[in-house]
Homo-oligomer: A and B are copies of this chain.
Amino acid sequence: MITTATADELLELLRTINRARPTRLGPDAGDMPVWTFTVLGLLAREGEQRLGQVAAHLDVDPSVASRQVATLEQLGYVTRRPDPADGRAQLLAITPEGLAAREGYLAMRARWVAEALQGWDDAEVAHLVARLKQLVEDLHCAIAAHQRPAGRATARSAS
- Residues of A with Cβ closer than 8 Å to B? 1-4, 6-11, 13-24, 26-28, 38, 41, 59-60, 106, 109-110, 112-117, 119-120, 122, 124-126, 128-133, 135-136, 138-143, 146-147, 150, 154-155
Q: Let me know if B20 and A17 touch, CB within 8 A.
A: no
Q: Main secondary structure on chain A at its contact with chain B?
A: helix
A19 to B34, CA, bound (A): 14
- In this complex, the member of A7, A21, A131, A143 whose beta carbon has the largest number of chain B beta carbons within 10 angstroms is A7
A21 to B126, CA, bound (A): 22
Q: Let me know if B136 and A13 touch, CB within 8 A.
A: yes
Q: Across the two chains, which residue of chain B brings its CB closest to A5? A: B126
Q: Across the two chains, which residue of chain B brings its CB closest to A8? A: B41
